[in-house]
Every structure is written in structure tokens, then in C-alpha cells.
Amino acid sequence: MNEILTALLLVLGSLFSFVAALGMLRLPDTVIRMHAATKAGTLGAGLILIADAFFYAELGITLRALAAITFLLLTAPVAAHLIGRAAYYSGIRLWKKTWIDQLKDRYHPGQTKR
Amino acid sequence: MVAESSLVIFAGRFALVVLLVSIFLALVRLIKGPDAADRIVALDLVSVLIVAFLAAYSIFSGETSFLDVAIGYVLIAFLGTVALARFLMRSAIRRSENANLADEASNNE
């Protein structure tokens, strides 16, 4: 039973990680790419860590996997927020189909660079 | 505890190969990425994928200490990402200050 769960979680987690990497390669601009990297990447790594917990089925291993998942879930949004702010402020070019940009003219008043 | 059932061994092999391909794809974006921000995002994804790889390899090899390495790596990767983002922010602020100074200078002339 545990082996079936382990195998299933391993395959699912690696497929989500692959989706994240594919999005990183194919999506059109920095902010949209961050969406793929942060969400799908964290989900993939988390699923594989849960697979670890099911495979060993020991208290220590489960706690370690849970600690790693907690750190991932705590740090990923903070890092994504910091990168997004720095990227927008440094003037990345948004996708040409972006039709709503509420920060326009807030960070660089007078400069119309995009 | 080494993976004995052939199902887990097959799934582990599959996961390792897929994760390696994913790391390679993220590295392509790291090399291509037109802006510095793209490279930082790609580096962040690479570190998350390496954590997933470490977890999968600890199942495949039966060595539990890779999980400790994964915990440490998450924290170090977070620090690296924050440092790079702050560097990008700082250099952007400096650039806009320099632009404002140049504007004032040209207005005074």
C-alpha cells in the first residue's frame, strides 16, 4: 500500500516539477514565469517530500519531510514577492497582451518606458 | 532501507530522469533569460528542483541523510534568492536616482 502511494506521489511530483520547468521555458514574460516557478515547483517538491514520508513511515523521517515542506511553503511566497517587486521596479517589459497594470506610473512617474 | 519493490524502483528512476530534464530546461532559461530578473527566477526554480531531486534520490538510494541536506538547501537557497532580489532592487533605485539627477542638471542649464 505504502509502495503504491510512494510511486504515485513520486510520479505526480516529478510531473508537476516538469510542468514548472516547461512553464519557465515557454511562458512569455517574467511575472507570468514566476507564477509557474513558484506554484508548480513548490507543489512538485512538496509531493516528493510527502512520498519520502510514506516510503520510510518513521516518525523522524516524517518530521524532517514536514520541516522541509514548511520551510518551502514559508520561503517561496516571500522570495517570489521580493523578486516580483524588484523585477517590476527595475523595469521589465510586460507581455504585449497585458491589459491591466495597476502600478503603471506609480514607480516611475513621468517615465513612459513600456 | 533500500527500495525493494520494482514499482518504487521504476517510479524513482522515472522521477529522477524527469527532474533532471526539468533542471536542464530551467537552466536553458537561466542562460537565455533577457533580464536579470528572469535569471533570478530561473535560479530559484533550479534550487526548488534540486530539493525535489534530493528527496527523490533519498527514496531511490535508501539514504535518509539526503533529507537533512534538503532542509539545509531550502534555507540557503532562500537566502541566495533574497540577496539577489535586493541587489536588483538596489541597483534599480540607484539607476533611477542617477536619471533624476541628470534630469535636474539638464533643467538647470
Tens of pLDDT, residue by residue over B31-68, are 987 888 999 999 999 999 999 999 999 998 988 999 99
Cβ-nearest to A83 among B12, B16, B40: B40
B80 grid coordinates: 541566495
Q: Does residue A101 form part of some domain?
A: no
Q: Does residue A94 form part of some domain?
A: no
User: Average pLDDT of each block of 10 consecutive residues along chain A (114 residues)?
Assistant: 90 95 91 90 94 92 94 92 89 82 69 46
Q: Does residue A10 form part of some domain?
A: yes
Place of cell 506521489: A9
pLDDT at B106: 79
pLDDT at A13: 95
What residue numbers bound the domain in which A17 lies?
2-89
pLDDT at A114: 43
Q: Does residue A100 form part of some domain?
A: no
The alpha-carbon gap from A107 to the nearest alpha carbon of chain B, in Å, equals: 10
Q: Does residue A109 form part of some domain?
A: no
pLDDT at A82: 92
Q: How many domains does chain A have?
A: 1
Q: Does residue A28 form part of some domain?
A: yes
CB-count burial class (<10 Å; 0-12, 13-18, 19+) for B12: buried
- Three-point CA angle B48, A21, A9, nearest 5°: 65
pTM: 0.89
Mean pLDDT score, B1-12? 81
The DSSP string of A58-93 is: -HHHHHHHHHHHHHHHHHHHHHHHHHHHHHHHTTPP
Query: Is there a contact between A41 and B48 if contact means CB atoms under 8 Å apart?
Result: yes
CATH number of B6-108: 1.10.287
The alpha-carbon gap from B105 to the nearest alpha carbon of chain A, in Å, equals: 17
Residue of A nearest to B92 (CA): A90
pLDDT at B109: 66
Contacts of B5 in chain A (CB under 8 A): 3
Q: Does residue A42 form part of some domain?
A: yes
A91 grid coordinates: 523595469
Domain ranges of chain B: 6-108
Tens of pLDDT, residue by residue over B79-91, are 999 999 999 988 8
